[in-house]
Amino acid sequence: MFREKIKVLDCTIRDGGLMNNHNFTHEFVRAVYKAISEAGIDYMEIGYKNSRRLFSPKDYGKWKFCDEDDIKRAIEGVPSKTKLSVMVDVDRVDFDDVPQKKDSIVSMVRVASYVKDIDKAIFLVNHFADKGYETTVNIMAISRALDNELTEALHQLEEECKARVIYVVDSNGALYQESVEFLVKKFKSILKSKEIGMHAHNNQQLAFSNTIEAIIHDANYVDGSIYGLGRAAGNCPTELLLGFLKNPKYDIRPILDVISKEFIPLREKLEWGYVIPYAITGILDEHPKTAMALRESNKKEDYREFYEGFLGDDTD
């Protein structure tokens, strides 16, 4: 038996782009889009709508900006019922870069926000909703949110925000399943008119199980990425999610194929997934950026020193 309301969003290109400055080729994006479409996945997030005033196209690939023409070039001619999504960060978007929905190939705009920025997030979401898009708010670094501030933010979202879905985002890969249960139940108790989403990171190999846990407690929007490709330890593997979900509309085989053909060669050039420094930042509920820097250094396997570096912080 399956729950028809569950929607899968594959964020491979968007979250994976954080590992290569969004420099995927059109051919790679096309292969991923084709696999996701054939697999029957509901949404594909193709990148960010970031401002060119803040980020230079010299430093970043096209999926940092997601121009309509680039998207069209990557996907045209591929039969698909998959809707496209783009992500927007608070304070990093130019409104004029996002056209009216009727002039766009994109269906959904997801706004990523910390709890402290929720007023800005609501303003953004309502703007994009008024342009005709489906919208969501993705509350990042939720493991670090103070409960009273989160409660207030959720009430604001319920009362003032046009987003249909509010996501729990475990940016640090720090949550255990009991905390996922706590958070999803909390979200549901306040966000009575909205759906709950789950976006997990895999620092402690818990992205898939935390996504299942969210589903158990009635989250209906779940993010996956193919072979887990995403920032640092990556995300909930889409292939495992499809193996778990029983909706006959999903087919795992195109995902298996694209891993064979595209992701195994890519893995030779680009590192993501479970390594000890990401596990350490997950265990300590720290942002993975220090671990990502370590992996680029000549101390990439010096785990004890890296771990002890956190213990030495002054904390009074």
Kindly write out the interface string for residues 165-184 of this chain, putting x where it contacts a second copy by CB under 8 A and - elsewhere: -----------xxx------
> 195 vs 239, which CB is nearer to a second copy?
239
Number of residues that bind a second copy (CB under 8 A): 40
| Least distance in angstroms from the C-beta of 287 to a second copy | 17
Question: Could you say which residues in the range 180-239 bind a second copy, by CB under 8 A?
Answer: 202, 204-210, 212-213, 216, 227, 237, 239
If DSSP codes are grouped into helix, strand and coil, which group holds residue 138? strand
The Cα–Cα gap between 48 and 60 comes to 11
Q: Which 8-state DSSP code applies to residue 41?
A: -
Pair 184, 217: CB distance under 8 Å: yes
The Cα–Cα gap between 210 and 181 comes to 9
Query: Helices then strands (H, E): number in the chain?
Result: 13, 8
> 123 vs 244, which CB is nearer to a second copy?
244
| Least distance in angstroms from the C-beta of 313 to a second copy | 17
| Least distance in angstroms from the C-beta of 140 to a second copy | 22
| Least distance in angstroms from the C-beta of 220 to a second copy | 18
> 47 vs 282, which CB is nearer to a second copy?
282
Place of tokens 């996956």: 224
The Cα–Cα gap between 135 and 157 comes to 12
| Least distance in angstroms from the C-beta of 212 to a second copy | 6
| Least distance in angstroms from the C-beta of 210 to a second copy | 8
| Least distance in angstroms from the C-beta of 285 to a second copy | 11
> 80 vs 177, which CB is nearer to a second copy?
177
Which pair of tokens denotes residue 264?
């195994």
283 binds a second copy (CB under 8 A): yes
Strand partners, 168: 139, 198
119 binds a second copy (CB under 8 A): no
- Taking each helix axis from N to C end, the angle separating 177-190 and 147-160, rounded to the nearest 10 degrees, works out to 40
Selected from 218, 257, 290, 295, the binder of a second copy by CB under 8 A is: 257
279 binds a second copy (CB under 8 A): yes
Cα–chain-centroid distance for residue 271? 18
The Cα–Cα gap between 54 and 289 comes to 20
If DSSP codes are grouped into helix, strand and coil, which group holds residue 283? helix
Q: List the one residue out of 288, 314, 315 whose CA is nearest residue 306.
A: 288
> 123 vs 303, which CB is nearer to a second copy?
303
| Least distance in angstroms from the C-beta of 187 to a second copy | 20
Kindly write out the interface string for residues 286-305 of this chain, putting x where it contacts a second copy by CB under 8 A and - elsewhere: ---------------xxxx-
The backbone torsions φ and ψ at residue 223, rounded to the nearest 5 degrees and listed phi first, read -95, 140
User: Is the Cα dihedral 185, 189, 195, 201 positive or negative?
Assistant: negative
> 70 vs 257, which CB is nearer to a second copy?
257
Q: Which 8-state DSSP code applies to residue 109?
A: E
The Cα–Cα gap between 238 and 253 comes to 12
Residues binding a second copy (CB under 8 A): 176-178, 202, 204-210, 212-213, 216, 227, 237, 239-240, 243-244, 252-253, 256-257, 259-260, 264, 273-274, 276, 279-280, 282-283, 301-304, 307-308
